[in-house]
Amino acid sequence: MTAPAAHPPVPGPAVSEISALIAWMRRLSDAGVHRADPAELAAFRHAKQDLLTRLEHHDRTPAAPHDQPGDPDD
């Protein structure tokens, strides 16, 4: 019996994607949700859900504990 094919890892969102989503949220908030275009609100909600799903499924386990950037050297 062969092992089932492994699914490729889901790429985590880039910092720039997170920043862009936050900026988009801020623009919507500044304009007022009640005045925002319903299609833009739907697009924002879809983009937010996609980003959160990728964050949830992204394997953040480093190869070794010392591989984390910014960790102090022992």
Interval 17-61: pLDDT, tens: 999 999 999 999 998 988 989 999 999 999 999 999 888 887 655
Residue 74 has a pLDDT of: 44
Residue 47 placed within a domain: yes
**Number of other CB atoms surrounding residue 17 within 10 Å:** 14
Residue 29 placed within a domain: yes
Closest CA to 44 of 59, 23, 60: 23
Residue 34 has a pLDDT of: 87
Closest CA to 31 of 18, 19, 13, 44: 44
3-state secondary structure of 61: coil
Which structural domain range is residue 32 located in? 15-56
What burial letters (b/e) apply to 53-67, b meaning 16+ CB within 10 Å? eeeeeeeeeeeeeee
Residue 34 placed within a domain: yes
Residue 35 placed within a domain: yes
Residue 38 has a pLDDT of: 93
Domain tally, the chain: 1
Residue 66 placed within a domain: no
Residue 3 placed within a domain: no
